[in-house]
Structures are given as structure tokens and as C-alpha cells.
Chain A
Amino acid sequence: MTLEKLNEIKKAHEQIVAVRKLVAEEGEKLAKETGYRKQVLVCGGTGCTSSGSKKVLAALDKALKDNGLEDEILVVRTGCFGLCSLGPIMIVYPEGSFYSQATPEGVERIVKEHLKDGNVVKDLLYSETVHADGSILSLSETDFYRKQMRVALRNCGVIDPENIEEYIAEDGYQALAKVLTEMTPDDVINEVLNSGLRGRGGGGFPTGRKWSFAKASQSDVKYVCCNADEGDPGAFMDRSILEGDPQCIIEAMTIAGYAIGANKGFVYVRAEYPIAVQRLQIAIEQAKEYGFLGKNIFGSGFDFDMEIRLGAGAFVCGEETALMTSIEGNRGEPRPRPPFPAVKGLFGKPTVLNNVETYANIAQIILKGSDWFKSIGTPGSPGTKVFALGGKITNVGLVEIPMGTTLREIVEEIGGGIPNGKKFKAAQTGGPSGGCIPAEHIDTPIDYDSLLALGSMMGSGGMIILDEDTCMVDISKFYLEFTVDESCGKCTPCRVGTRRLLQVLDKITSGKGEMEDLDKIYELANHMQSSSLCALGQTAPNPVLSTLNYFKDEYLAHIQDKTCPAGVCKALTKYEIVADKCKGCTLCARNCPVGAISGTVKQPHIIDQDKCIKCGLCLQNCKFNAVITK
């Protein structure tokens, strides 16, 4: 591969991809030049695949053939667009019409009415994009996308992830070419250092410093690793990047290899992400074929090769030393640091390990410069961050925002608020290692340091929105159950500490809590934080401490009043039938598995509290909202 050849491929494909970024007349003009009148992009990410995008694609292919359009319309299967709850998603360019929740039947109409006859099928569009006066917004003008800024996700939902030439059309491998032909390893490290890029996997350690340490280590063999073991339940940005833009990871790892003097890379991916693994595999093969991996890349004399290793379902393997132990084929247990991986990492050799999203920023930093990158975000946390927005929020999906965006903007504008008119209670970030940001801090600008100051952490970017129906003691218990399960067992503070902490929470949620239990929580947490071997144990108490800090009244309600204000903790919940609302339909009594409900037809029913096992079936079945929890 040479720079000339790279630019040739770029030139041949850039128009086709550019159509997906222009709208109205410009796009239409360009579309004519490409030979395809229209392009249909269908999301092939995990979210949309789960909601049936394969069937939609098949129906699309068939309908295009039936209408004789297959030569005029280009169909592209892309990665994630971000609005996962609206899947399967389908976009038609050059108009930029955004069809949501597409079905095979709907596709037939879209092909006939829109692609053939030129009339946008308005009733199938995402409702947010259709104005009351009938005019149509482009995707980038919707509330969900307007506040976003896509750097790491720039190609997701734009290019075909299985076609390296589309990546090249979007400046792909230009950064690698620049690095290998114009820059020294020190130049590369200085550029990354100067950009202020911090690790997107959780801790936020400056990436450039990591690279400079590994470069300084003397060794014949060094390694570059990519952490794609996205274990935080509720985070899926790394998966989406691998599914939507796998080449950018290969390019960035090769750049890292050149910078530190490594010739071999490993990507450690969760086995639970079959689509991501498959796309990455295809991407590696294509990169080899085009000469971006292998010997003497761009004639520079630099060699680099990489392979994929699959995780096997252990959360602790997201910890850097455990991940390397796992690649080595062992139980994925962490080891004490120092020595740090930059000195003694994989197979005992100096190793750089970065997270997927961190790598996704590298090529852009090299191409646009570190000053450009620093102009985004906050001084302490430059750049953007991708969040997986989930839980009780209208627009569930993937959002990328400049650091410093407030939580309110994320929840109310991008996220579209809380569904069913419920009240925002808190946002949980950082998963089992993090904490929550309560409603009173909703105007906090989000960056690494502000989250730490609030007792949470960035983590990998999972953001779960909780509403008034969430019990904060129960949610802490949920995270503790997770860490109990996932503690590797190597060190005592974590193995025993998580279990004891969970026991205390169990006691509280079952109505047997005492005030001393709160002191016990603090004491245990203190020991775990100071003496656990790795971050899993050190941060495991965070969800409890954070909820105890902001929602102490809920803990007190469980302990002193023996009630669960959110009506979640079963032992503390009492089901009752409101006599005024009960129509005596007998549905609850017929569904009660223990015969605890009595009453005659058309007369209010009563729940026998001694017999009730609090399964909640009566509440689920009542059509008159007569069953309430107390």
C-alpha cells in the first residue's frame, strides 16, 4: 500500500459516502453523479438486529427486485445509529428520511411509494422528524442528534463496516499514512499527550503518558492490546464502535504499535458480542489484504499484526492485569501493580492497553491535530464521551457529547425526558464501580473530575436513568449482587467484603435492619477500598456509599419505618385493594397463587396479609388500578 493508492481508493468512493452527509439539492446532485439515485441505510447493529433488521433487509432486497430498482438504489448495512429503542432503523438518502421501527410490510410501501414514486411515506417516519405543518426534519436536526458531536462514533451509521473502501473514503488510514511517513514515534506520543486524551474505559488515565511509559521500557518484544471486554452491564458503546467502524480500531492500534515499538496487537472482546467479533474479523482480513497490517506498512519498514481473543464471561477481565492474564490462557485474576503493564504486561513484556473508545479518537487526533481535540470539552477532560443511555428514559440509545455537557441536557433534551410522566430521581454512571447523580445535581457539567467529586465515576459510559419507582437500596443491592458474583476470589477484602456488604443490604431490605448496620457499611467499605487488590474490590462499595450519601432517607425508611418508599422491596411492601376502585371482577382472586384474596362477585375484595406472598400478580392483573402497594 502506498499513499497514492490510498488516495485513489478514497477518491473512487468518497462521493458515494458523501451523499449520506448532504441533504436537499446538494445531496441530490451528488447522488446523480454516483450512479445511484438513492441510498438506503439499514442498521445492522445488535439492537436493530434483535428487533428484526435482517428481515427488513431481506424484504428490502426482494421489494427492490420486484420493482426493478436494484441497479438504481444502493443498500448499505451500517452499524449503530444510536437510537436503539426505535429499531430497526432505515434511512433514505439524499432526503435523509428517517424511518423507525421498520417492518417487512412497511418496507414494501417505502420501496413502492418512496423509492419508486418519490413520495416520502410520512406515517412511517420517526415522528420527531415530522413537523405539524408536514415539513420533514433531517436526522441531525432532531433533539436527539442536535446536541451530539460525533468523533468516536463518526462513522457509525454512515459507512458499511464490512467494506474497508468506505472507511478509506472517510479519511481512513490517512492518519496511519501520516504517522508512518512523516512522524517519529516521539512525535506521535507528543501529539497524543498534548491532546489531553484520557482513557475512556473508566479510570481516565492520560493515554499519551501510558504510551510514553511503554516506549521508554526496553524490550525486544512489546504488545498493544485493546480492551473490548465491555463488562459494565448497561454499557454498549464499545460494541457499537466495533460493529459500526472496526477499521478505526485497527488503524489506531497500528499507530500505537509504531509509537511504542510493538509489532503485535491483541483485541480482547467479549464472546457475548458475536456481531462485533465477526465484523472485526472481517476488518482484520481486509486490512491485511490492503496492506495496512503485515510487513513493511506504507513502505516504512514497520511491521504490525493483530489477532482477536475472546473473553469468556468474567467481569474482572476488564481490569488490565486480569485481561492480560486471561489472554495468557489462565484464570483471569488480577495481579499486583507495580510492575505496571507498561513495564511488564502481556507475557511479561511491556504492553499498552487502551479501551475501544479511546482508540476510536486516535486517528482524528493525528489528522486534525491535538489543538483541535483540546478545543472540544473541558480543560481537564478534552474531547467527547459516548454514553449508553438506558433505563427509564424515552430515547434509549447511544449518544456522544462534548465533555462538559450537563446531565439536564442529556436527560431532558437528548434523552427526551422520563416516560409516563414520572419524575427523574438519579442517573447512575460507572456501573458497579460508580455511583449516582441525584436530581439536585442535574445541572452538573459531566466530565471525569466532576463525576468523581460527586462520588461517582465516568466508568466506560453506561448511564442508567432512574425514576421515582426505583428503590435506591434495592439498586445498591443489585450492584452488590453483581460484584459478589464477579469477584474473582483472589483477595479477601473483595471476596469476603462484597458478600458481607450484601448481607447487610439484604437485612435492610427484608425489614430487619438496625441503625448499627449503617456504621457497619461504612467500616466494611473503608476496608475494601483500602485493601482490595484491584479496582473491582476497591470500587465495589461505591454504589452503596453514593446512595447512602444522597438517599439516606430511603435507608432510614427501610430501617426505622420498615417501609420501602418506592414499593420495590417485597418484604416491606404491602398489597392492598382500594375498596372504592374494586369492581369485584374476581380477576385478582383467580390469579392469586396462594388464595390470599377473598370476596364475592361485584363486591370489593380483600387481601389476607398473612397468606400474601407478595408476588404482585394481583396488581399486574387488575384492570381498574384498584390494587396498590404501601
Chain B
Amino acid sequence: MTETSLNAFKGTAEQKQKLDEVISKHKDMPGALLPVLQEAQGIYGYLPIEVQQMVADGLDVSLSEVYGVATFYSQFSLTPKGKHRISVCLGTACYVKGADKILEKLETKLGIKSGECTPDGLFSIDSCRCVGACGLAPVMMIDDEVYGKLTPDMIDGILDKYIKEGDNA
């Protein structure tokens, strides 16, 4: 899959309408850009330049300002993420308990690096700084599910669940 086809923006009219609602709701609020971008990412899953342009137009700010904010915060992604987003905690508590080995195992198993998405679009891997579940270190999140007290050999079993789910769908 080439980069252009992977990144080609495919927004729907329904998504656009939702975004317009968000923009008009926040338009007069001081400091609206951040909350609007957060909701926009919730609608589209990521913030491609087309969405940033819509936000800029809607809030009457420059595209460079929107881009500046979108690239500053690690929560925002300018590229699409996998259907299942894996987030490995690399906070201190997890790190001293071997979180780097969990990340390594995921990277080898899926053949992608942290920050990337598998070619089939099923998984993407990111690292994050502390989800606050330090009692269960090391932890990772897949979508909203937290997996704690991990060891590298648990990874295969956990991922298989999501792969099988994909096969059945």
C-alpha cells in the first residue's frame, strides 16, 4: 500500500456535520482550539490537513496556528491509527518492571515500530507516559482495555483475541 492511498482523506458528510456542530458550539468560548481539535480527532480518528483546514476556517484562525497546536500535543495524530490502538506505558513504574521488553515483543510480533500502523490497518503501536495504573506495572492499553502485570510471552495470546475477532467480523 502506498503512502498516498493509506493517507488519502475520506471524510463523510456526516462527519463534516458533526464537526460543524462542535465548531459552532465552541466558537465563542475563549481557548476553543484545543477542545475543538480533541473532538475533531474523536470524529475522524486523526487530524489530517483537510480536517485542520476545516477547523481553521470554522474558528477563523490561521491553518498554521491549528497545525502548530495539532503537532505540539502528543494526543493528536496527523496520520490514521490502526483499528485497535495499542498503547504501551513507558512511565517509570512500568519501565523499571520491563515495559521496554513488552514494546520490543509487540514490535517484533507485528513487524512495525512504535508510532506506526500495520499494513492491514488492524493494529497501531504507540508508547504513552503513565496511564496511572502503576500498581499493575507493566501495562498496555488496547483501545480502552488495560492489560496489566504483563510478561512478553502473554502478548501472543492477547493479540490473537483481536486477530480472531477481525476474522469473524
Task: Tell me the A residues contacting B by CB distance below 8 Å.
Answer: 46-47, 49-51, 83-87, 230-236, 239, 271-274, 309-315, 326-333, 347, 388, 390-392, 396-397, 428, 431, 462, 464, 466, 470, 475, 478-479, 482, 486, 488, 616, 620
Contacts and interface: CB of A to CB of B under 8 A. Distances in A.
Contact of A233 (B37, B38, B93): B93
Q: Which 7 residue pairs spanning A and B have beta carbons closest together? A: A84-B135, A233-B91, A312-B73, A390-B93, A329-B31, A50-B146, A234-B92
B19 interface: no
Interface stretch (B78-86, B123-131, B158-166): B123-131
A331 B68 contact: yes
A314 B76 CA distance: 11
Contacts of B73: 311-314, 332
A86 B136 CA distance: 9
Given A50-B133, A234-B93, A312-B38, A328 B31 contact: yes
Contacts of B92: 233-234, 390-391, 428, 431, 462, 464, 478-479
Given A313-B73, A329-B32, A620-B152, A390 B135 contact: yes
Given A329-B33, A331-B72, A388 B96 contact: no
B33 A330 contact: yes
Nearest to A616: B101
Nearest to B131: A272
B132 A236 contact: yes
Contacts of B153: 620
> What size tier do the contact residues of chain B reach?
35 or more
Contacts of A46: 131-133, 146
Contact of B69 (A331, A388, A464, A482): A331
B157 interface: no
A361 B33 CA distance: 33
B45 interface: no
B134 A388 contact: yes
26 contacts: A46-B133, A47-B132, A47-B134, A47-B136, A233-B91, A234-B93, A236-B133, A309-B34, A312-B75, A312-B76, A314-B74, A328-B30, A329-B32, A329-B34, A329-B69, A331-B72, A332-B73, A390-B135, A390-B137, A391-B137, A396-B134, A397-B135, A464-B92, A464-B96, A466-B96, A478-B95
Given A85-B136, A329-B31, A397-B135, A271 B91 contact: no
Contacts, number: 141
A317 B27 CA distance: 23
A271 B68 contact: no
B119 interface: no
A530 B76 CA distance: 32
A331 B33 CA distance: 10
Contact of A272 (B33, B96, B97, B128): B128
A236 B96 contact: no
B93 A50 contact: no
Nearest to A469: B96
Contacts of A616: 101
Interface-central residue, A314, A391, A462, by most chain B CB under 10 Å: A391
B97 A391 contact: yes
Given A50-B133, A482-B129, 11 more contacts: A46-B132, A46-B133, A50-B139, A50-B146, A51-B136, A233-B91, A234-B93, A309-B35, A315-B129, A327-B34, A391-B137
